[in-house]
Structure 1
Amino acid sequence: MVQLSELASALKQTESKGVFSKHPKGFGFVHPEGETDKTNDIYIGQNETKFAMDGDKVTVKVLYPKTEKRGASGQIIKINERAVVDTVGTYRSLSNRQAKALGYKGRIELFNDRISDTLYIKQPLTGVQEEDVVSIKVTQYPTDTKAFEGKITQIIGHKGEVGLDILEVLYAMKIPQEFSAETLAEAEAFSEELTQEDLQGREDYRNEITYTIDGEDSKDLDDAIHVKKLSNGHFELGVHIADVSHYVTEGSSLNEEAYARATSVYVTDRVVPMLPVRLSNNLCSLNEAQERLTMSCLMEIDDKGKIITYKISPSVIKTTYRMTYSNVNKMIHQGQEGHREALEKYSKIADSIEVAVELHEILETMRKDRGMIEFDESEAKIILDDEGYPIEIVKRDRDTAERMIESFMLMANETVALDFQKKKLPSLYRVHETPKEKAFAKLMEAAAEAGFSLSSDSHQAINFFADEIKDTSFEKALTYQLRHTMSTAVYSEKNTKHFGLAATNYTHFTSPIRRYPDLIIHRLLHLYPSDHSNRTKDEWKERLPEIASHSSDMEHRAVVTERIIDAMKKAEYMLERIGEVYTGTITGVQKFGIFVALDNTVEGLVRVPNLHTGTTEELEFDEEMSIIKGKKSETIYQVGKEIKIRVIAANKRKGTVDFEQIAPEKN
């Protein structure tokens, strides 16, 4: 006989708490709390949502448990916490007839298309105009008997204003736009001139030949270097980083806002800084010929890339030159246009640049030998006209100067992390886990089918595999798959190593103007020499997990924001190119179609009906192999394969581009 307690337990097991992800069509999935496997998500039909919205925390009753053939499905029985309290959208007024019938003056076309319910406004804010972008506070959530209502709290911008489309995304993603009056006042209170007190206890590198190397339009210059050969044949690499922690101190309003933002956000037409411009572009920026407070990592490195000695200390520098990547590349590459002129103009650092290139090559070889995994990736810059319209997409490859600076910053980050480890002091680390197990298993199968060896996810096996597929017809496909097996790097108080860099110790030390974790690292470097008591260490052990988690979350928010705006502007760019033909590379395969990336970095979707093999046939999706295959022609669509397409549609608001395949010519 079944006991009542057993029955109660069984009933409880049919309920689960989690987060609801809603599709624009109304259905969705609940991701149960504590689950890492998405196959355990619970499907919620359109009529079973209890009016829950995307991101809501809910309790779901499982109606049909998961089987081998299908996932679980259920119904939402309770909404525990609303995700949407404030939102953003475009104001649309209702006609007199509609207003009279419904009792509302307007509605909001929401930026978040996963919210399918119409949001109504009873009384618009004074001054609001048709198609203004506005902020809204939700005042009533929809039910069987109640409408979805909100109140306009702010007019973000009027229709036609330059950059309003980007501003709408920033507000929708809750990226702060303004600093508080208190924060700005703190920033303004600092003196332009350094005092003797400021210089107390600092190494003086003002007579060293130091220089920054950044992009042409960079304004927040937070790293400078000096490089030279020592009499014993070793190299001296000095990495000097803006000492933001001198200005942004514990308990200040500056610190409070820097923590809340945790990162600067770089989008097409602007930078949303972590710090007020007076600090980011002025007092903390290592501008040419200006004395600046820094935190320096001085390293002696041998001809194998091994650190012999190092010194990390507060310092002061006076930058010799503000260099750009393009000018340094001209200095490096003989025969390049402007080479001789660049050498003459920047003669003071010509010898240093030559030594820097030599050291960079040594460090690059050292990292490759230890197993660092690197992908050749190009960046794209979207050029806008004065009206904010995209007129060009410029693809930028990483040349020697770009890779050299990255190489030196990596060295400094590793050295600082090593220092914390050696001294057993609490710190933040930048960690990167081993490849995703299921994705890597699929890659191993694909590699074996193509006749290549990928025995494990060790650094040696992966790099051997990468070398083996190089310059073969499978290189693109398998490299794309390999990239998609990689985990996302995050911040942690635990040093669990950095897989991608094959680094035992790694942190972020080199960008405190734009990253809060780097600012914390600087603060700890100031603190520990004078106070490494057990009480201090215990305090930071308690604080660091929250800082790591929050910083990772805010970094993710910034990355998503940048991607949304990037996709939106690329879609807008392609609107003028409907009908044009391109050759692209397949970057993803799903049941509904394939994703294709063009050489200009625009990515679009070819839906299954728009795949043309040249034969009338049925196309099959193989989920296990992540391919679509023609039944008659045996044409295979897989990641990495080149395909000729035509642009057939683009949606700026959704940031999507649609292609159709141009059928291959018959032999």
Structure 2
Amino acid sequence: MSEKKKSVYTGRLITNRKGFGFVEVEELEDDIFIPHSGLHGAFHHDTVEVKIKESFGGRHRMEGNIINILERGYTKVIGTYRQGRGFGYVVPDDSKIADDIHVFDSDAGKAKDGDKVVVKITFYGGDHKRPEGKVVEVLGSMDDPGVDILSVIRAHDIPETFPDDVKKQIRGIRLKVPKKDMVGRKDLRDLMMVTIDGEDSKDLDDAVSLEMDGEDYILGVHIADVSNYVKEGTALDKEAVSRGTSVYLIDRVIPMLPEKLSNGICSLNEGEDRLAMSCIMRIDKKGNITDYEIAESLICVNRRMTYTAVKKILADHDKKTIKEYKELVPMFERMEKLAAILKAMRVKRGSIDFDLPESKIILDKKGRPIDIVPYEHNVATGMIEQFMLSANETVAAHMYEQGLPFLYRVHETPDADRIGDLIELMRGLGLNVDGDPSDIKPVWLQKMLGEVAGRPEEVLIRSLSLRSMKRARYSTECLGHFGLAVLEYTHFTSPIRRYPDLQIHRILKDEIHGRLDHKQIAHYVSILDGIAKRSSDRECAATDAEREADKIKMAEFMEYHIGEEFDGVISGVTGWGMYVQLKNTVEGMVPVAKIAGDDYDYSEREYALVGRYTGRRFTLGQPVSIRVVAVDLDLKSIEFELAGADALYDDDLEKRKAKGKYSKKKSEKRSDKKFGRKSDKKSDKKSGKRSDKKSDKKFDKKFDKKKPDKYSDEKRSDKKSGKKSGKKNSGNKSSDKEIFSDLSFDWKNYDKKDSDKKKSGKKSNGKKNPGKISSGKKNSGKKSATKKGSAKKNSAKKNSDKKKKERSNTGKRYGVID
């Protein structure tokens, strides 16, 4: 049945507080509008069948009524309990849930007014009746420390404790490696190697080594052999599959595996024998991997290093630190050189680096946010990122060549329509852009971004380029990784915190030992698709939870800065207003109704709000000054208003409105003065903009630094910190430039304005500010013969003619193979 004639579709319902909703259908480009009268008892996130009623609007968006509810998306809702007369109700934390949940007093349990609760839905509502529910858990008062983050954990169904059968299983795991487990492994205990992590990291799952053989680098990436302890089908394995990933929230880490494993026998601690999976690569002076070996190994880490210490050695040339680690300094210097070679090689092939900002929120002992600071991407984090990328690429290419069932990390080609819109926009800006939207290659996008570097349009183009990217995911198909411009890619380096890596280690071991017979291959074929889907879904849930927790604490932080002015960049434009992101990555909304000086219309094509009479524009990526107006902690939202010169009001607007036109000739001078970014002193005085020399230097000092890529899979921020660290992302090693649909800005490329804004006005809530804000070992290196217990590549002869053809066809998509 053709799409036009089809009248019933299946999809997921997304509602909102205004009462209506939309059904997302995979096969349709646009969502189906559902009026309140067409919901018929359907609830937010339900899987439904919708019957098309009619088309409406200029874009002919379909409208429909829900005729069947196939699956409920929610059985429980987290929210704030409010007490009424003879009854109570729960205001959902999820602002998209249209109605509050009615709770009879007999179903309220011990809930008190203002408590965060978990309510089980007993009736979903409909026919003008509100949903009803029963309180099944009281999380605590919404003002109690940690309750806000606990609410996020419950909302995303993230288990905090391990079941009894898992606890029973790990009791039998020893604290030291048994002698029998060392048999048959490649003994690398004499090889000099280190771990490099954040100061607070406890689950050290990777170590690196580097030696020279003539002009060749012998790079070793050694990963904790978690699969030796987590056997497939056990209670521990089933729980790991269910969790999919560790979750790193602001004040706690919820691990995929129990701490006895993650922080114990699987952690590559200094001076302790450990089991590992090693990928040892021979790399030439151009960055090409000419030979490799993947093996089960036995290792012993020489030193536990931190990013800070390695940075002090290589970047700061700190004499004290250099003396302390003098035996390792030559290796670190070689690592720095190799990392630069590898990065240059990847850039040459088209790897895209959006270099987006990331920050971490610092909490006090009571869980209150006291600062938001940038995550520092330095020479040490960059080295580890490049080495992890190389290992992941090598393992993926090896398994692709074998033609065996495997899990790949894929990032597909961007949406052609969005790329087409981007090309059209760039041409409209006077840029000479050629390209077929349906056949875009990474090197094209990289070149295009390079051409706009330093231009006023750079932020806009970078933002829209990022938005055109699809989300990286797990798949049994090798579809390539667009962002990295590589044909084969996987996740091999973090089995403590990611289930796909753990499963990949199992497949590698079976391949190494020749256990991949027809039966085992059939087994993997039967389970890997499910693992890929589950892992991708749990990754999304973890990411959503991390972002929501960030939004909560950012809103709480900004509540102490109501009335203050800051510089920002427009990060989103809609018909109801514009989102502005500050240098500390906090984002708020400027409602269109509160933008003085004109009536504004949304230009979807230009990603701008355009003044109907003045022609004044607010465009994605444009720098603006804002004042913090209000914070809603329940909705996790922040409201801004324009400040300084950006807030100037045109006194003659009403007169021109009456005439129905705007005379450019008479107002050109006024427009330049009142709406220009850099106003002269008179304009500053008139607008009330402060241009004194006492600018907030702390803001620039903290937030004008180089920002890391928020979306790197193997990036080592401090994502491995213990509980209550008050640090976000303490040790999440990332090697995959992950692309998501949200947006952050590269503040290095943001043209600073003349001066930073100072405080303006009193804090409306009268709260005392608890914190601050800133505005503005040894190896000969010889090629060894293939041994039992290792997988070996002979670089010259690997592919059959058939595989060469397959790779060539794949390569053409990415411009890697001509």
Instruction: Report the TM range for the smaller structure's normalisation.
Output: over 0.9
2:16 to 8, 15, 23: 23
Q: CA deviation at 1:284?
A: 1.0
Task: List, as ranges, runs of 4+ consecutive aligned residues in structure 1 with deviation greater than 6 Å.
Answer: 9-12
Match of 2:384 in 1: 405
From 482, 487, 491, the counterpart of 1:508: 491
**2:747 corresponds to:** none
Residues 228-627 of structure 1 aligned to structure 2 (within 5 Å) = 228-230=211-213, 232-335=214-317, 339-456=318-435, 457-528=440-511, 529-612=513-596, 616-627=597-608
Partner of 1:484, secondary structure, is helix
Question: Is residue 145 of structure 2 the alignment partner of residue 162 of structure 1?
Answer: yes
Residues 140-179 of structure 1: matches in 2 within 5 Å? 140-144=123-127, 148-179=131-162
Deviation at 1:333, TM superposition (A): 1.2
Counterpart CA distance in 2 for 1:625 and 1:11 is: 29
More displaced 10-residue stretch of structure 1: 285-294 or 349-358: 285-294
1 CA distance for matches of 2:642 and 2:114? Answer: 36
Amino acid in structure 2 at the alignment position of 1:406: E
Letter in 1 for 2:21: G
Once the 2 structures are TM-superposed, how far is the Cα of residue 10 of structure 1 from its aligned partner? 13
Q: Which structure's relative contact order is higher, taking Cα pairs within 8 Å and 6+ residues apart?
A: 2
Q: Name 2:769's counterpart in structure 1.
A: none
Equivalent residue number for residue 80 of structure 1: 70
Q: Is the 8 A contact 1:263 1:273 kept in 2?
A: yes
The SS at the match of 2:33 is strand
Residues 4-53 of structure 1: CA distance to partner in whole angstroms, max 9, x if unpaired?
xx9xx999943333221111111111223x4251x2x2211122211211
Does residue 52 in structure 1 map to residue 45 in structure 2? no
* TM-score between both structures, scaled by the size of structure 1: 0.92
Separation in 1, partners of 2:374, 2:461:
23
User: CA–CA distance in 2 between the matches of 1:458 and 1:126?
Assistant: 59
Structure 1 pair 460–18 and aligned structure 2 pair: CA distance change class (3 A): closer
**Aligned-partner Cα distance in 1 for 2:246–2:123:** 34
Q: Distance in 2 between matches of 1:494 and 1:272?
A: 30
Match of 1:108 in 2: 90
Contact kept? 2:117, 2:138, Cα under 8 Å: yes
- Whether 2:639 is the aligned partner of 1:647: answer no
The residue that corresponds to 1:660 in the other structure is 641
- 2:27 corresponds, among 25, 31, 35, to 35
Equivalent residue, structure 1, for 2:195: 212
**Alpha-carbon distance change, 599 to 93 in structure 1, aligned in 2, over 3 angstroms:** same
Q: Distance in 2 between matches of 1:462 and 1:12?
A: 38
Query: Residue 474 of structure 2 aligns to a residue in which SS?
Result: strand
CA contact 1:242–1:294 (8 Å) conserved in 2 = yes
RMSD: 2.1
* Contact in 2 for aligned 1:381/1:393 (Cα 8 Å): yes
Tell whether the 8 Å contact from 1:228 to 1:356 is kept in structure 2 after alignment.
no
Residues 167-226 of structure 1: per-residue CA shift (max 9 Å, x gap) = 011101111111101112222321112112111121111121111111222221111100
1:412-448 CA-to-partner distances (Å, cap 9, x unmatched) read: 0000001101111110000001112222112112222
Q: Please report how far the alpha carbon of residue 468 of structure 1 lies from its aligned counterpart in structure 2 after TM superposition.
A: 1.2
CA contact (8 A) 1:429 1:494 kept: yes
Shift of 1:521: 0.5
Q: Deviations over 1:297-335 (max 9, x none)?
A: 000100011111111111121111111111111111145
Q: Distance in 2 between matches of 1:589 and 1:163?
A: 33
* Cα offset, 1:617, TM superposition: 2.4
Q: Which amino acid aligns with 1:371?
A: G
Seen in structure 2, the aligned counterparts of structure 1 residues 343 and 56 have a Cα distance that, compared at 3 Å, is: same
Q: Which has the higher strand share?
A: 1
> What is the letter of the counterpart of residue 626 of structure 1?
Y
Once the two structures are overlaid, the 10-residue window that deviates more, 54-63 or 481-490, is 54-63
Contact 2:630 2:639 in 1 (8 A): yes
Shift of residue 157, structure 1, vs aligned partner = 3.3
Q: Which residue matches 1:223? A: 206
Structure 2 distance, partners of 1:586, 1:10, is 37
Q: Distance in 1 between matches of 2:43 and 2:163?
A: 32
2:656 maps to none
Aligned residue pair count: 642
Q: CA deviation at 1:463?
A: 1.9
CA 1:235 to 1:127, structure 2 compared with 1: closer, same or farther past 3 Å? same
Cα deviation code 1:366-408 (max 9, x no counterpart): 1011110111122201000111110100012311111110100
Contact 2:314–2:332 under 8 Å retained in 1: yes
* 1:480-527 CA-partner distances (Å, limit 9, x unpaired): 111111111000000000000001110000000100000000111112
- 1:50/1:205 CA distance change after superposition, 3 Å: same
Spell out, residue by residue over 1:326-351, the C-alpha distance to the aligned partner (whole angstroms, 9 max, x if none).
1111111145xxx1111111123111
- CA drift of 1:159 comes to 4.9
Gaps of 5+ in 2: 647-672, 680-818
Q: Which residue of 2 aligns with 1:3?
A: none
Secondary structure of the 2:327 match is helix
Residue 610 of structure 2: aligned partner: 629
Measured in 2, the distance between the counterparts of 1:253 and 1:92 equals 40
Alignment CA distance shift 1:239-1:24 (3 Å): same
TM-score of the aligned structures, taking structure 2 as reference length: 0.76
Q: Cα distance 1:204–1:649, how it changes in 2: closer, same or farther (>3 A)?
A: same
Structure 1 runs not aligned, ≥5 long: 1-5
